């Protein structure tokens, strides 16, 4: 065999086995930080080179556009070839490619358009209204979830039967929704995969063609596949195909999106695969962090099993801090970040991870107050911004006059004096005549026909004019001609930012390389929609990263703070009644731990303000699952097992007699109560008491300390942080 050292150099023994495997299908169990991307890309290059395959004979499926681009770039670099035409992409982008190529066989118009989640929900809202249903009893979001769930199971409305009146109405809307999308040439995200699956399963000629074409199929993040994605892969592989899947059952955290961790065990059965090949050597984290992750995840029963290890022998204990409140928790985190940053760690290398988005507020507040730059990961992405979606709607309507969703988004934006009643009349006419809104305009009465007709004329004019323009020129023209630029120039408050985004859109289009030279606009519209749903951030600024644990998957940082580690919060209260749900929460904790490279902090608050009520917050079971010898407790609050803490503001402490009493302790580092002269009379202060300071304002006593000579109190003041005060001279008073 020819020497391919240039491809295989730098692989460890298990990575080498995975890359060069040549005996049917294989499941690779790739632990966090084990180099799975390197394995996947190297294998694609190795297959093409050693088995003399064409670049179109390998299909590689990922879950994000970012991962697909990275794979294409790496493979292109390894093979020194143009990788643009390879079949590498997300499930949605590959399905779209199939449907574009075979739209007639799929029963779709050539110019069919993809609608995003928001547009899907808007369409469902109109159908609910059309059926005369109460929108409060039958919310669009609920029916949207129902429709998408059924599609993910591979089920059309005609295959379903209602269980009760409620599901009967849901099914009616599903039927109307299918009819409306088919009539208007619209496809939602789930439909992309379902329609392509149906295309292959109902067309033996096409199926055989692609089964023969794809000699090898590779799948990334296999643990995140849902029912429909699994069926889609299974039919493409067929009886003789080879599939190479990389995944980690310990990182399966998307069951709420339909992901089925059980697909990994089904893989072994359905594809006649041998025992999984395990990638257990970690190149990311220090030993202590890996040992903690292994210890936590070992408590799950439903796992295939692996043990992460590293050559990095550096040992640094995991830091645990147990604050009295969420304010105390946040203040500690920001204090540590400040110190880390002063010691040379870039803010972008620091992440705060939380279970729920609502937890970000207090950290945002404290970061802002301390002058530290931060970024809430997962905000509105470029293609989701209002002004961008307006431009895209104009483009969609120009490409496809049957696109009612796009029509409604821009018919009166910028304002053209078209009222709600006119729109309602237009929709009624469209429904009665079974014609798109654009065509229904000519049947409007009187002045309405003239007003809306001017908009139709505008669209038709733009449709004609852009035929001679390049894609960037067409975008600029539409921004100007539609009135969007003038509209945002008049917006004093937000206009400048929105105009910058419009200009950036032109720049983005300029760098867009369309494969279909005859229909670049159609291809760009599909690209924009697919980009808008990508889960990965594009640019991590030099700022502290705030995000949910779900959003952190696939990322890594030098320093990670996992906050809110309390029963009911992490693990989430909704999961506590079901073992399967608790195990998913534990996998989520495993993901959180393994995001850290060098330093890991675990934090919880003994009490937390939830729904306007301060409640006791026992420590998360996941903290208790980490061996004590791996943890350095920085809080002074003993780690109390979940379910054992009753009074949030009074953790177990040693009790001593205090100054002013008849007896004094010889010495003590910590005390429970203090009786001192705060005014003209002696007043007892204890841990948990509220006090007021002339300079710092109102605060809570966190700790009391005595060295035998003086008594000091550690007090947390809102907005000022913690202060250590000498109780004999401090200007404080007790708040009753």
CA-based radius of gyration for the chain: 30
Task: For residue 220, indicate whether it is catalytic.
Answer: yes
Task: For residue 507, indicate whether it is catalytic.
Answer: no
Q: How far apart are CA 124 and CA 622, in angstroms?
A: 41
Task: For residue 251, indicate whether it is catalytic.
Answer: yes
Closest listed residue to residue 679, CA positions, set 694, 689, 664, 665: 694
Q: How far apart are CA 657 and CA 668, in angstroms?
A: 10
719: left (phi over 0), alpha (psi -120 to 50) or beta: left
What are the angstrom distances between the C-alpha of 617 and each of 64, 338, 651? 37, 27, 12
Closest listed residue to residue 285, CA positions, set 553, 557, 597, 34: 597
Closest listed residue to residue 479, CA positions, set 519, 507, 514, 449: 507
Which residues are CB-contacts of 226 (< 8 A; sequence separation ≥ 6)?
A: 152, 257, 258, 259, 260
Catalytic residue among 36, 43, 621, 686: 36
According to DSSP, residue 311 is labeled: S
**Structure token pair of residue 634:** 């920085």
Peptide bond connecting 414 to the previous residue in cis, omega within 30 degrees of 0: yes
What are the angstrom distances between the C-alpha of 115 and each of 109, 142, 191, 528, 530? 15, 18, 10, 11, 10
What are the angstrom distances between the C-alpha of 704 and each of 633, 662, 673? 18, 19, 7
SS3 content of the chain, % helix, strand, coil (to 5): 45, 15, 35
Q: Are 567 and 645 in contact (CB under 8 A)?
A: no
Catalytic residue among 100, 595, 599, 700: 595
Phi, psi of 135 (to 5 degrees): -70, -25
**Structure token pair of residue 622:** 């996941």
What is the distance between the terminal CA atoms of the chain, rounded to a whole angstrom? 84
Closest listed residue to residue 653, CA positions, set 631, 669, 665: 669
Task: For residue 37, indicate whether it is catalytic.
Answer: yes
Burial of 501 (C-beta count, 10 Å sphere; 0-12/13-18/19+): middle
Task: For residue 595, indicate whether it is catalytic.
Answer: yes
Q: How far apart are CA 236 and CA 226, in angstroms?
A: 16
Q: How far apart are CA 44 and CA 242, in angstroms?
A: 13
Catalytic residue among 220, 224, 329, 349: 220
Catalytic residue among 251, 287, 359, 422: 251
Catalytic residue among 20, 37, 50, 536: 37
What are the angstrom distances between the C-alpha of 596 and each of 425, 440, 458, 481, 634? 58, 58, 54, 50, 19
Task: For residue 227, indicate whether it is catalytic.
Answer: no
Q: How far apart are CA 240 and CA 251, in angstroms?
A: 30
Q: H helices within 159-262, ranges in order?
A: 165-184, 189-201, 204-213, 227-237
Q: How far apart are CA 156 and CA 172, in angstroms?
A: 12
According to DSSP, residue 220 is labeled: S
Catalytic residue among 119, 191, 221, 585: 221
The dihedral built from the CA positions of residue 276, 554, 361 and 720, taken in this order, carries a sign that is positive
Q: Are 686 and 673 in contact (CB under 8 A)?
A: yes
Active site residues: 36-37, 220-221, 251, 595
């Amino acid at each position: 065999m020819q020497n391919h050292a240039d491809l295989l150099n730098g692989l460890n023994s298990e990575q080498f086995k995975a890359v060069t495997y040549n005996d049917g299908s294989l499941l690779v169990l790739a632990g966090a930080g084990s180099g799975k991307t390197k394995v996947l890309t190297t294998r694609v290059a190795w297959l093409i080179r050693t088995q003399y395959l064409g670049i179109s004979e390998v299909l590689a499926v990922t879950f994000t556009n970012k991962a697909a681009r990275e794979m294409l770039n790496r493979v292109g670099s390894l093979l020194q070839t143009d990788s643009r035409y390879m079949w590498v992409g997300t499930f949605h982008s590959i399905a779209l490619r199939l449907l574009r190529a075979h739209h007639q066989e799929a029963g779709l118009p050539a110019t069919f358009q993809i609608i995003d989640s928001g547009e899907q929900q808007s369409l469902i809202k109109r159908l609910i209204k059309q059926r005369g249903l109460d929108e409060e009893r039958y919310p669009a979001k609920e029916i949207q979830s129902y429709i998408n769930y059924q599609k993910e199971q591979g089920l059309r409305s005609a295959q379903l039967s209602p269980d009760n009146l409620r599901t009967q109405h849901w099914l009616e809307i599903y039927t109307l929704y299918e009819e409306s999308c088919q009539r208007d040439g619209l496809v939602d995200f789930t439909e992309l995969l379902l329609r392509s699956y149906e295309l292959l399963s109902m067309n033996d000629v096409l199926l055989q063609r692609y089964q023969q074409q794809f000699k090898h199929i590779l799948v990334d993040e296999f643990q995140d596949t849902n029912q429909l994605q699994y069926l889609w892969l299974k039919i493409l592989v067929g009886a003789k195909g080879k599939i190479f899947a990389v995944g980690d059952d310990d990182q399966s955290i998307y069951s709420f999106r339909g992901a089925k961790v059980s697909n990994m065990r089904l893989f072994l059965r359905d594809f006649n695969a041998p025992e999984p090949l395990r990638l257990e050597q970690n190149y990311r984290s220090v030993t202590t962090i890996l040992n903690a992750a292994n210890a936590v995840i070992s408590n799950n029963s439903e796992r295939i099993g692996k043990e992460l290890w590293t050559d990095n022998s550096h040992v640094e204990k995991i830091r645990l801090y147990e604050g009295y409140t969420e304010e105390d928790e946040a203040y500690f985190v920001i204090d540590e970040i400040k110190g880390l940053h002063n010691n040379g760690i870039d803010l972008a290398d620091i992440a705060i991870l939380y279970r729920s988005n609502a937890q970000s507020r207090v950290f945002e507040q404290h970061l802002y107050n301390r002058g530290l730059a931060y970024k809430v990961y997962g905000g509105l992405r470029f293609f989701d911004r209002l002004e961008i979606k307006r431009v895209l709607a104009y483009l969609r309507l120009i490409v496809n006059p049957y696109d009612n969703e796009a029509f409604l988004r821009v018919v009166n934006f910028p304002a053209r004096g078209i009222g709600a009643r006119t729109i309602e009349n237009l929709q009624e006419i469209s429904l009665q005549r079974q014609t798109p809104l654009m065509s229904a305009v000519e049947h409007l009465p009187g002045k309405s026909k003239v007003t809306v007709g001017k908009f139709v004329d505008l669209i038709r004019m733009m449709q004609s004019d852009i035929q001679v323009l390049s894609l960037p020129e067409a975008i600029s023209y539409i921004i100007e001609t539609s009135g969007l630029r003038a509209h945002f120039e008049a917006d004093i408050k937000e206009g400048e930012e929105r105009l910058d985004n419009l200009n950036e859109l032109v720049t983005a289009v300029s760098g867009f390389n369309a494969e279909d030279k005859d229909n670049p606009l159609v291809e760009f519209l599909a690209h924009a929609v697919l980009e808008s749903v990508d889960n990965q951030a594009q640019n991590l600024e030099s700022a502290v990263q705030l995000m949910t644990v779900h959003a952190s998957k696939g990322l890594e940082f030098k320093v990670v703070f996992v906050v809110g580690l309390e029963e009911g919060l992490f693990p989430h209260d909704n999961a506590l009644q079901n073992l399967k749900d608790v195990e998913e929460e534990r996998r989520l904790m495993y993901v959180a731990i393994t995001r850290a490279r060098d330093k890991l902090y675990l934090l919880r608050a003994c009490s937390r303000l939830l729904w306007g009520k301060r409640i006791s917050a026992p420590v998360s079971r996941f903290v208790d699952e980490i061996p004590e010898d791996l943890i350095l407790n920085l809080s002074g609050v003993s780690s109390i097992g979940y379910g054992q803490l009753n009074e949030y503001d009074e953790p177990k402490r040693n009790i001593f007699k205090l100054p002013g009493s008849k007896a004094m302790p010889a010495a003590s580092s910590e005390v429970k109560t203090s009786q001192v002269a705060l005014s003209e009379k002696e007043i007892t202060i204890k841990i948990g008491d509220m006090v007021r300071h002339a300079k710092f304002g109102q605060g809570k006593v966190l700790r009391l300390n005595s060295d035998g000579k003086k008594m000091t109190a550690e007090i947390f003041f809102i907005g000022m942080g913690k202060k250590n005060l000498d109780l004999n001279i401090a200007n404080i008073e007790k708040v009753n």
